[in-house]
């Protein structure tokens, strides 16, 4: 869409990136960061901009390296693995290997369909679900 490459990252990495873009200091506002991350990964927050289904259910997520820092997709741009394989037509040799650590370190191809993504108000909702306000002593 914007001309940048898509990179393959894990669902957890995509959620962390979303939280960092929403509020770089989000961890200082919550106590149970791992709880929030797990609930967000399991909640279908990242929508595939091609099929409009949960982008994390088919495996890793292909996302634009520019994230939300472009006028062409101000709410990021994400593609599920299923759609990436269908529309990019990659052979098995070019597909990224799955890794247990965040990000598979692979980037390739440009895809150009429509975009749709999550409103940031949902992030605020999830930050409140798992956290209790920290008090200063």
Q: Is the dihedral of CA 53, 54, 57, 60 positive or negative?
A: positive
What pLDDT is attached to residue 3? Answer: 57
pTM of the full structure: 0.60
How is the chain split into domains, by residue range?
A: 6-119
3-state secondary structure of 106: strand
DSSP code for 93: G
β pairing state of 78-80 and 61-64? antiparallel
> What does the alpha-carbon distance between residue 85 and residue 1 come to, in Å, rounded to a whole number?
17
Task: For residue 60, give Cα distances in angstroms to 40, 43, 98, 132, 135.
Answer: 15, 15, 8, 30, 37
Tens of pLDDT along the chain (137 residues) come to 455 677 888 999 988 888 888 788 888 888 888 888 888 888 877 888 889 898 888 788 888 776 555 544 456 778 888 888 888 765 444 444 444 433 343 333 333 332 233 333 344 444 444 433 444 44
């Amino acid at each position: 869409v914007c001309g940048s490459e898509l990179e393959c990252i894990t669902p957890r990495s995509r959620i962390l990136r979303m939280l960092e873009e929403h509020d770089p200091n989000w961890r200082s506002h919550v106590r149970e960061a791992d709880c929030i991350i797990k609930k967000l990964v399991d909640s279908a927050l990242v929508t595939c901009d091609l099929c409009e289904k949960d982008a994390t259910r088919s495996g890793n997520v292909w996302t634009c390296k520019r994230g939300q820092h472009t006028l062409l997709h101000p709410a990021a741009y994400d593609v599920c693995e299923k759609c990436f394989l269908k529309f990019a037509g990659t052979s098995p040799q070019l597909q990224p290997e799955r890794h247990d650590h965040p990000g598979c370190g692979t980037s390739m191809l440009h895809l150009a369909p429509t975009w749709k993504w999550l409103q940031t108000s949902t992030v605020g909702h999830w930050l409140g679900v798992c956290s209790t306000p920290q008090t200063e002593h």
